[in-house]
Structure 1
Amino acid sequence: MKPEKILNISVDCVVFGYDVTTKSLNVLLIKRYLETDNDILVDDYVLTGYHVYTHETLDDTATRVLKELTGLTNQYKKQFKAFGSPNRLTSEKDLLWIKNEEFNSRTITVAYYFLLKTEDVDLDNTNNNAKWFPITDLPDLGFDHEKIIKEAYKDLKEKCLSEPIIFKLLPDKFTINDVQDLYESILGIEIDNRNFRRKLISKKYIIALDEKQVGVSKKPAQLYMFSKDIYDKMFQKNYLISM
């Protein structure tokens, strides 16, 4: 039997991914396109999301939405805010889309963000022409999704200083420069390299490996890994790294 949708409650997912090569924090967006009689009515991008089914929790819906788009499960996710303004879906394009899709214009959405590695997503096997966009260069967005992304980004900036969530965006083995580049990408600041390196390698949960980079033209750098087990044992409620 086909699941029953709750027509005025949805989940929207801000999917953050970090590209180690371009040193860019990105957002995964899907194409929203509508035409009739050869006239293009809607042509922009939106977050991935969907209605909540009657048998689901909100977390279930968010997990399902991400899996349907990327095939990925067990990624870091956080519910960060609900959006229920009466005017959130009232632009001309949004109303055309809503009429075509037959859902409630007074829909309340609960927003989540996910953290993953861009290379883990096979864009050729995603629906709706999914594409990564740098957080600093987003395309034209539908609904109130620009606002949702900004709120998610604000929360991510705060959380990355107090919780080790950035390691969800990095490869299992990384260099100190990789960590610094990621912090700079998220926070939009320049960090003193020497001071950052000294502070990071002093953390017992940053484990130096007996390995170095391979396939690089410059001198290969030392590789490290993050130990969640050690972190959990020694964790105290303070800042992971101070900037």
Structure 2
Amino acid sequence: MQPQIISNISVDCVIFGFDFDTKTLNVLLIERFLKSEESSEPLVNDYVLTGYHTYQNETLDETASRVLKELTGLDNLYKKQFKVFGDPNRLMNDRDIIWAKNQNFNQRTITIAYYFLLQTHEVNLGKTEHKAQWFPVNELPALGFDHRAIINEAYADLKEKSMYKPIVFELLPDKFTIKELQDAYEAILGTEIDNRNFRRKLITKKFIVKLDEKQVGISKKPSHLFMFSKDIYQKAYKENYLINI
């Protein structure tokens, strides 16, 4: 039996992904499309965040994890609940009203917003529903509802937190180069970082452990690999700025 939804409470998920090829921070969006039954002309044709109503028998965290897994097949990722969006006019433009009526949505819906962090290659876009697609966070398409505001709030929170919490490592593989770490920081912060200064400061952090390994499968001189030690960080590190830009 289909679980009963709470019709005016939903969860929206901002899924951030770091692309190692383009060195960009991206957002995973799904297509929202509805055509007229009379003329076959598109009534709604834009993109939205993935999200859904909360079930009566689940917590908000469980809703967010369910929504993520249904779209990507992934679970156990870093997630952060960052804000509630409850403006009474948040679903009131023409496209949103048409969509809400078609989907039988409650127009006075309050949404709890989360963001997730991963690497773009972890998501098999060919197996996702609703034509999911990655977009650079600074090059977003036309968006439905108030999802641009939700993304902007999530991005601002990610920028701030990345300066004093080690969440950047959620965008990286277990083993990474200093250059890859710098690329991830630059993608999040939207600014270039002095290479020498960054390397000098980061390699002195005890929780960034240099491995006796180098990159493989590359033609140029391979770089040393490093790993983030969560144990060392939790035991020895007091909250402070990780980097100074």
Long gaps (5+) in structure 1: none
Q: How does 1:194-233 map to 2 (within 5 A)?
A: 194-233=196-235
Q: Counterparts in 2 of 1:124-135, with a 5 A limit?
A: 124-135=126-137
Counterpart-to-counterpart distance in 1, 2:207 and 2:240: 15
CA RMSD of aligned residues (A): 0.8
Taking the TM superposition and a 5 Å limit, the aligned residue runs for 1:1-243 are: 1-37=1-37, 38-243=40-245
* SS, match of residue 3 in structure 2: coil
Q: Distance in 2 between matches of 1:237 and 1:196?
A: 19
Higher mean Cα deviation, 208-217 or 4-13? 208-217
* Letter matched to residue 215 of structure 1: G
Q: Is the 8 A contact 1:34 1:43 kept in 2?
A: yes
- 1:208 deviates by 0.7
How many aligned positions are there? 243
1:90-138 Cα distance to aligned partner (Å, 9 max, x none): 0100000000000100100000000011111111111100010001111
In the TM superposition, residue 212 of structure 1 has moved relative to its aligned partner by 1.0
Provide TM-score, normalisation by structure 1: 0.98
- When normalised by structure 2's length, the TM-score is 0.98
Q: Is the partner of 1:162 in helix, strand or coil? A: coil
- C-alpha distance in 2, partners of 1:187/1:87? 31
Q: Which consecutive residues of structure 2, in runs of 5 or more, have no partner in the other structure?
A: none
Moved over 4 A (4+): none
Distance 1:80 1:235 in 2: 24
Cα distance in 2 between the residues matched to 1:33 and 1:16: 23
Task: Using the TM superposition, give the Cα deviation of residue 242 of structure 1 relative to its aligned residue in structure 2, in angstroms.
Answer: 1.9
DSSP 3-state at the match of 1:190 = coil
> Contact 1:19 / 1:119 at 8 angstroms: preserved in 2?
yes
